Amino acid sequence: MITVYSDEHKYHHGSGELFRGSVVPCVENPDRASEILSRIRTIGLGDVRPAHDFGLSPVYRVHTERFIAFLQSAFDQWKSISDNPDALPSAWTSHRPSAEEPQSINGWLGYYSFDAGTPITAGTWRAAKAAADTALTAQAIVREGAPAAFALTRPPGHHASSEQYGGYCFLNNAAIAAEAMLRDGADRVAIIDIDYHHGNGTQAIFYDRSDVLFVSIHADPAQEYPFYHGYAQETGNESGEGFNVNYPLPIGTGWERYREALDDGLRRISTYGPDALVVSLGVDTFDGDPLGKFRLTSDNFTEIGRRISELSTPTLFILEGGYDLESIGLNVTNVLCGFEE
Ligand SMILES: [Zn+2]
């Protein structure tokens, strides 16, 4: 399988995030991508290709212009009030989207974000744009006939909505790629999100639409981040009704229960009959991940890839979460190798 990778991800390296009341080193860091790339080369998964620059028009199909302008300029404004290398919000609006857009950087940060775990650094925009280009380059490889491709992206994307960032995510790489598939002629695209955390941003972007089916298997938001979205009763709105499917699972979920949700989600996708599939590939479902509390093993990831391949649909894998550096390379490549088997 072809991997698309850009070194530019290294420009996003926050020093700290607010976690359980303390500022701690960011778990979403460049070592994650390095570990996966190293494993891909060790096992000889396939070609590793650079990302092309697609400009901003595919990004604007998902995100608003004012949100992009904010991401591009936030750090420069932050520098005028702070020497801290991480711009973090400390106040949030409770009246989105009707509140007036603030005119100060502290107000702006809270207006466009939903947590304090996602610092904007000097290189964040550059890295986030490169991640979107990485996803779009891999999408083009699938469009040109490859059965699958892997976009080795960071920062991740599935928590970002049209104009909010958070959960380590700035641009929604999976949504941008899905929109590119539609523009390239797909009538229907399915996204399956197997990250431990609900893909609230992706859900929000496509919630009113029937041309993208969103299926997410994740930890119950009653217990886990992102807390306010990801419940089973969130099934879509208006013409999108029935095209949003959530499988919230309890803390401690192991393979048996996970497999039931996966198989049911894959059945829903098969019935939908998409022209292309996007996999939001998070491996923080691994037993031992510092953020996740599921109990999947490395072998289970091989089986996940194998089951996804049974859809026989052109498939674009896009990296989301996964924070155990010792296992992340193995677990990600196990999904990809399971698919190729
Ligand atoms: Zn996650």
Any catalytic annotation for residue 9? no
- Partners of 276 in the β-ladder: 189
Q: Which residues contact 234 (CB under 8 A, 6 or more apart)?
A: 203, 207, 244, 246
Cα→Cα distances 145→51, 140, 142, 203, 266, Å: 18, 9, 5, 28, 22
CA of 167 to the centre of ligand 1 (A): 8
How far does the centroid of ligand 1 lie from the alpha carbon of residue 122, in Å? 24
- Decide: 209 and 175 in contact? Cβ < 8 Å: no
| 179 in Cβ contact with 58 (< 8 Å) | yes
pLDDT score of 20: 87
pLDDT digits (tens, 9 = 90+) for 113-156: 999 999 999 999 999 999 999 999 999 999 999 999 999 999 99
pLDDT band at 90 (very low <50, low <70, confident <90, very high): confident
The residues, any chain, with a CB within 8 Å of residue 268's CB and separated by 6 or more, are 213, 215, 245
Lowest-pLDDT range of 96-100, 163-167, 178-182: 96-100
* 222: three-class secondary structure by DSSP: coil
pLDDT the model gives residue 99? 79
Rg (CA), the chain: 18
Give the pLDDT confidence of 70-83 residue by residue, as tens digits: 999 999 999 999 99
Average pLDDT, the chain: 97
Helix or strand or coil: residue 198? Answer: coil
Residue 96 has pLDDT above 80, yes or no: no
Strand 148-152 to strand 315-319: parallel, antiparallel, or no bridges (unpaired)? parallel
CA of 334 to the centre of ligand 1 (A): 18
Asked if the peptide bond before residue 155 counts as cis, ω within 30 degrees of 0, the response is: yes
Amino acid at 337: C
Q: Which residues make beta-bridge pairs with 166?
A: 169
Beta strand pairing call for 2-5 and 276-281: unpaired
Q: Are 278 and 316 in contact (CB under 8 A)?
A: yes
Q: Is 70 exceeded by the pLDDT of residue 97? A: no
Q: What is the pLDDT of residue 94?
A: 77
C-alpha–C-alpha distance, residues 233 and 85, integer Å? 40
| pLDDT band per the 50, 70, 90 thresholds, residue 100 | confident
Helix then strand then coil, % of the chain, to nearest 5:
40, 15, 45
Residue 291, pLDDT above cutoff 70 = yes
Tell me the pLDDT tens digit for each residue of 240-288: 999 999 999 999 999 999 999 999 999 999 999 999 999 999 999 999 9
Instruction: Please provide residue 212's backbone torsions phi and psi, each rounded to the nearest 5 degrees.
Output: -130, 115
Catalytic option among 9, 159, 198, 229 = 159
Specify the fold of 2-52+127-340: Arginase; Chain A (3.40.800)
Q: Which two tokens stand for residue 52?
A: 């092309």
What's the gap between Cα 214 and its chain centre?
13
Distance 104 CA to ligand 1 centre (A): 31
pLDDT of residue 175: 99
Q: How far, in Å, from the CA of 94 to the mean position of ligand 1?
A: 25
Domain residues of the chain, as ranges? Answer: 2-52+127-340
% of residues, the chain, pLDDT over 90:
95
Nearest CA to 333 out of 290, 312, 297, 302 is that of 302
Distance 32 CA to ligand 1 centre (A): 13
* 207-243 confidence digits (pLDDT tens): 999 999 999 999 999 999 999 999 999 999 999 999 9
As a dihedral over the C-alpha atoms of residue 271, residue 311, residue 176, residue 169, rounded to 10 degrees, the angle is: 100
CB of 74 within 8 A of CB of 110?
A: no
- Please state the rounded mean pLDDT for residues 99-115: 92
User: What confidence tier does 160 reach under pLDDT thresholds 50, 70, 90?
Assistant: very high
